[in-house]
Amino acid sequence: MENTLDIPKYTMNEEEEKKEILRKYRALLRALKPKLKPGSKEQVRVAFEIAAEAHKTSRRKSGEPYILHPLAVAMICVEEIGLGVRSTICALLHDTVEDTDITLEMISREFGPEIAKIVDGLTKISNVLDANSSQQAENFKKILLTLTDDPRVILIKLADRLHNMRTLGSMKREKQLKIASETVYVYAPLAHRMGLYNIKTEMEDLAMKYMEPDSYHYIAEKLANTKRERTRYINDFIRPIKEKLINGKFDFEIYGRPKSIHSIWNKMKKKGVSFDEVYDLFAIRIILNSPPEREKEDCWKVYSLVTDEYNPSTERLRDWLSNPKSNGYEALHTTVMGPHGKWVEVQIRTKRMNDIAEKGLAAHWKYKEGTSEENRFDKWFQQIRDMLAAQDTNSIDFLQDFKLSFLAEEIYVYSPKGDIKMLPSGASALDFAFAVHTAIGEKCIGAKVNHKLVPIGHKLRSGDQVEIITSTKQKPKSEWLKMVVTTKAKSKIKDSLKEEKRTIAEEGKSILQRKLDGLGVPMNQANLEEIINFYKLNSSLDLFYDIAVKKIDLRELKDFQVLGDKISAPKIVKPLVEEKALTTLKKDKKDNELIIFGESSDKIMYSLANCCKPIPGDDVFGFVTQGEGLKIHRTNCPNAARLLANYGHRVVKTKWVKNKEISFLTGIKIIGLDDVGVINKITNLISGTLKININALTIEAKEGLFEGNVKVYVHDKDELDDLVSNLKALPGIESVERYDTE
């Protein structure tokens, strides 16, 4: 991708800057030309002048004038999302209220309340991922409320985030990690949900470039090296199909486009294959110019022509014509066996469908007139409104719930009568039960999926027909929360559990009342808060419940001071590990990295995270945990995106200093041909030639192949990489990969 290169050193003088700003402004007007109505050009000019004046003393981290950022965001809105004049004005003004003296009232006076409202929404969002996590959940809710109110807010925010990602090269390393993680955690899935596939793909690629630079550059290089032979193959593949389409009198475009670096990397990881084994490095796209009434028919005709020429894989047919995705995506995808025994993905869609795939929500509005079907986005927004209404205000799980419920791919399942329900991927029979009705969910004891009896936690697949079995004796249990992914099911189960908790808590309330009567003090709010704070609980309900289930025995009440009607808790000073760690870090850190295994490593205690088992040489960051001090994680750790996105303020820049005295346990998985003496060769190489200690070795042979798991002690990543390349060089070895030991 042309805009994924690092930012060059900034060298413009004032005169050149003025010319550059003007050039970008004129380019924006040219892009807007088809949408300009009388008077709107002047409004855009006024917005540009206000923004230019407001930001005139500000510069970006790269050194360039700040105004170039709003101009770039406005250009993305127009060219890549397909938004119009009002959105352009909002994009130009999106940072003014937060960063300059401009107020919302001034914007409202100049451009009207609608634009002021969108700018207000954008201002709220800009703080969304900077605060602590519970506040972040609150802010994210504000975004979603604004989004369901006016979706342009989120579209402009996505443009803003995309430009920040494109210019991330001038940021400090920890900032790059934080922004890239947030992007991959929240913004890329949101772009996908809004139907903006190109933006989603570019965001993921750029995030990977900063979070996993080695893998990113490896794949980019491989793609560049194989470009010529790929182009030749695509041309050979397309030729016969092109002839058939011309003979069939279709008005069409056909071309091959490479898959994104991020999606290729995901395939390699998921399937455990090398770059050369990823078969769909590109997709062939056929775009038809068909009238609305003939769209489906034409797509299926083209499918028939393609599969006449090449054999299709039946399980790889994706029909999003009959059932478009909830983000509006419509297309027909098939995977066929092309020349030289290679599988090739073919995507068939019309020009209208292609517009919606590239411009998402904005294109939806363009084609919305005259359609009887309720817009899928409208349904989605309504679901979000319902979720926000039902959600606990302080839920830290909110973001995670939102991702699982609203940013995941969806599946389609059927009721016994054939009614269709759309659920997020990963939904269980219990999710379906709650989707039908809360009362059915609460009484659910099992389900029949495709007429077979299954437990309530059974994961559903697209096309399943589900019948729920209920019992009047059943009631929700806390373990149900682990079985569901939809927000509706989660919040209803929590409500029900809370109701039961209240009943149990009544007993605890009576016990506390008797204890306080014994001390001669009333059970008022002030006294309750004193006790709640002492036991580090969140509410009086938690306190009463913990007393009822004997988690708290109130023995400590005798240490409380009684002053008239009030009680006062004894002061117990327990400094929190993480607070201490953060303070020490702030003192030590200034702008330097925290060095692990170096001279300063004794200043703070840390441990290596079990989820990713880092070893020296890995790209890592430090994370201050609650109660356990500092943990070191790899930047490509499965939990990294969540930690960096949700708790950026706890991240510490970290680097290794080599220390040959300490060894680290790590694992490698070896797959190869089950040949006589192969185990001997492997152990000789590891222990004999490379002098590396083996901790454990398991080998399993099956149908001519063997899979070996070896745990070894290495000093650093270089030693591990050396071991992997030496093992790969042995005859009969198919693949060697690192895995995280238990």
Enumerate the active-site residues. Answer: 98-99
The helix (run of H) or strand (run of E) holding residue 351 is helix 351-368
Residues 398/137, Cβ–Cβ less than 8 Å: yes
Q: Give the CA count within 13 Å in the CB-facing half-sphere of 311.
A: 6
Alpha carbon distances (Å) from 292 to 183, 300, 378, 645 = 36, 14, 22, 43
Residues 6+ apart with CB under 8 A from 159: 73, 74, 76, 77, 80, 81, 91, 199
635/205 Cα distance (integer angstroms): 15
Residues 393/138, Cβ–Cβ less than 8 Å: yes
Rg (CA), the chain: 30
Q: Across-strand partners of 337?
A: 311, 343
**Which structure tokens are listed for 49?**
């002048």
Q: At what angle do helices 197-211 and 173-182 cross, to 10 degrees?
A: 150
The helix (run of H) or strand (run of E) holding residue 252 is strand 252-258
Residues 694/683, Cβ–Cβ less than 8 Å: yes
Residues 359/81, Cβ–Cβ less than 8 Å: yes
Residues 653/230, Cβ–Cβ less than 8 Å: no
**Which structure tokens are listed for 103?**
């107020």
Q: Tokens 């003296």 map to which residue?
A: 101
424/433 Cα distance (integer angstroms): 14
Residues 6+ apart with CB under 8 A from 637: 609, 611, 612, 614
> What length does the chain have?
742
Q: Across-strand partners of 674?
A: none
Query: Which of 652, 632, 686, 532 lies closest to 177, judged by CA?
Result: 652
680/215 Cα distance (integer angstroms): 31
Residues 733/668, Cβ–Cβ less than 8 Å: no
Alpha carbon distances (Å) from 545 to 395, 476, 567 = 20, 18, 21
Query: Which of 482, 556, 564, 477 lies closest to 512, judged by CA?
Result: 556
Pairing of strands 606-608, 629-634: parallel
Residues 504/548, Cβ–Cβ less than 8 Å: yes
